[in-house]
Chain A
Amino acid sequence: MQIPYTVESRPDTGVYNGKMGIWLFLASEVMLFGGLFSTYILLRTGAVGWLEGSISVEKGGAGLNVPLATFNTFVLIASSVTIIMAWASLAIGRAREKEIANLELGSEDVQERITVSALSNPQKIRAESLKRFQLFMGLTVLLSLVFLVAKAYEYNYKFSHGIYPKTHNFYAIYFTLTGLHALHIIGGVLVNGYFLLPWKSLLTRFWAIIYYLIIPAALIVLCAFLLYHKSGIVFAVSPIILYVFLLLSGLVKTFVSAVPGCQMWETEPDRFINRIECAGLYWHFVDLVWIFLFPVLYLLPGS
């Protein structure tokens, strides 16, 4: 099955399908968070009094941890930069690769061609840009995890001090908004983590161990157990039949080949660049939401 317009632009939209898809998704996300921001406004204007995030609970505020949230803001902004650098390293590598290819075809200067191909052959460029990509993507995932740890500390502090969503409408909307945002961060970590590593070969090795060592060993133990207890021979052997069926049907192989991770860079580099661009768009959106959440919850004065 061939998915259309993964690399080239679709004529009527002018963009590849993935980009249109992620923007449609982000548009729906705008409405999701928009509804919650709207809820915030309604709760705030409807309330006679509203808590100020930065003032401690003892002094009548909400007692939110502004320094930690400021730190988290820097972390998210930095992760936005690292993910776009991850994309740029791939794009630059790919452009250079193409340039060399064009150079080799069109150049009359033999000496130059030799120099270029000696200094940078396409395979080398591709491998190097993947290394750079993995560095930046790894940083992005790391920064996301830092954000989550800080967030978990914040939540834990609130809960251990008896502050729950039910405590005040302020906390209700605070936990809803930041909780939903944290879920988005977790989603981003999963997707970015998927693009970070060569999952196909990792899984191949992983599944190889499971399928050719662990499962047969477990089945042998099971069969021995069943035979020892004098169950019927067909019943005892049936798990082995099932196992052989699974192995032959190639379900495992299909699954493994469907999750290339960063190995797509080797097979379909342009498509992989587009994937990273879409992941980046999502991640920038998560950053953008936080850019609004931070002042709205932590900095706005109470009333």
Chain B
Amino acid sequence: MAEGHIHDISRDVKKYLYVFLALAILTAVTVGVSRVDLGITGGIVVALIVAAVKGSLVALYFMHLNHEKKSIYQLLGLTVVCFLILVFIALGATRNKHPYYNDEDERRFQEKYNESLTHLHEPQEHEEDHGNHDDEHSGEFTAPTGSPIGAYWRNKVFNPQQTGDGSTTASSGGAIYGTSVISGLVTFEGTVPRMKSLIEEMSVDVGCYGKYTTTEPTSDTVVVGPSNTLANILVRITEGPPIGRAYDATDEVSAGRVKPAILDQYGCMYKPHILAVMTGQEITIKNSDGIMHNVHAMPDINSEFNKAMPKMTKKIDYTFQEEEQDPFPIKCDVHPWMGGYVSVLPHPFFSLTAPNGKFEIRNLPAGTYQIEAWHEKLGIQTATVTVNEGETSTSNFAFSRS
């Protein structure tokens, strides 16, 4: 080009001005088109095509690639190939693959499965190994209890016919419901901690702080009610006659033994802060804020779950299929202070304390129970309670900052 003729260069100068005009028009076009709703794929495709045309104009006319030497073309050809490899690596990666599902998990899962099959063929060994006395004389074989994967296979492999009506055809060995109740009061001992104000963090988003006109938003890690009663304590049975028996979430909800699970996002907080559900119970996740949230659940056993809830998504439903030994955290990646916990239990015998500190586990068959009271920061307390048929036993817990 440098050794070009005057008239060639002068003609090129005219061309540059036309290219400039074309680029300006295409910029206006791409901005204009982005206001039209073409769907996600349509929007991306149109924007990238316009960008590609503009890029080609710059490369061909401004960078003189419309007539360049072969060596430059060869170099650029190689570059383009490498660039495309980079892009397609990214496009091909991790779609439909669980990032934490690796070979090790696969192996452990297979091991559990094989173990379960062994028990299917050799019932005696199963009884010796696992000594679950309720199932001993049942004539039905159950997978090892106590492990969530076991619970999963118990439902899916050994009792496939029970899917949907597990509560009525559960294995025998005593009633799976009763009329006994365990109730109690949870209190906080010591100086009540002042919870951190969130007003500064929330100030980035009017969708958050706008919901608090009369009160100041504070952290909901420890919520202490009047007369030092403690809210957000999950009380559940960990040992007792119902453990290891099959309960079906749909039946429990329709019979009113378990409340429908609703997790709302209001004022950039989770309501409730702690959610306890049964395995297979449908959770309705609402977005009352009408701003962008995402619900990021980090379970130990179930698949990780991360759903965006843009302002227009008012509600999504989700179900955790497998039991979780411990409550697991959920958070919103958009609003770092938003945190909560979800507990997924295989039975309906759990209760959450309200700010009045009271809990009540109903419909229990008579027997001796180990119950556990859990708080995310203040730890776990257990108690052994014996309850007779039709009676109410009381067990109180006192948490403190140790």
Contact = CB atoms under 8 A, between A and B. Distances in A.
A284 interface: yes
Contacts of B2: 91, 94, 270, 273-274, 277
B76 interface: yes
B47 A299 contact: yes
Given A31-B83, A77-B24, A168 B10 contact: no
A74 interface: yes
A24 interface: yes
A35 interface: yes
B180 to A, nearest CB: 43
A63 to B, nearest CB: 10
B69 A27 contact: no
Contact of A85 (B13, B31, B47): B13
B1 A277 contact: yes
Contacts of B308: 47-50, 303
B192 interface: no
A77 B333 CA distance: 37
* Interface bin, chain A: 35 or more
Contact of B34 (A48, A74, A287, A295): A295
Interface stretch (B91-99, B227-235, B236-244, B319-327): B91-99
B62 A85 contact: no
Given A20-B71, A168-B334, A300-B44, A58 B90 contact: no
B40 interface: yes
A280 B61 CA distance: 12
A303 B40 contact: yes
Given A42-B90, A301-B40, A30 B71 contact: no
B94 A14 contact: no
B76 A23 contact: yes
A136 to B, nearest CB: 11
B79 to A, nearest CB: 4
Interface in B83-134: 83, 86-87, 89-91, 93-95, 99
B291 A59 contact: yes
B27 A58 contact: no
Given A30-B83, A95-B5, A162-B203, A41 B31 contact: no
A117 B274 CA distance: 92
Contact of B83 (A34, A40, A92, A94): A34
A88 B9 contact: yes
B190 to A, nearest CB: 35
Contacts of A59: 291-292, 311
A19 B72 contact: yes
B258 interface: no
A66 interface: yes
A13 B69 contact: yes
Nearest to B61: A84
Contacts of A31: 79, 82-83, 86
A80 B5 CA distance: 22
Given A27-B75, A51-B292, A299-B30, A41 B87 contact: yes
B6 interface: yes
Given A163-B204, A299-B34, A168 B333 contact: yes
B10 A92 contact: yes
A80 B58 contact: yes
Contacts of A222: none
Residue among B1, B10, B68, B70 with the highest chain A CB neighbour number at 10 A? B1
A14 B69 contact: yes
B16 interface: yes
A206 B193 CA distance: 66
Interface string A33-48: 0110111111001111
B24 A284 contact: no
A4 interface: no
B55 A49 contact: no
A169 to B, nearest CB: 8
Given A46-B99, A300-B34, 4 more contacts: A23-B75, A45-B95, A59-B292, A77-B23
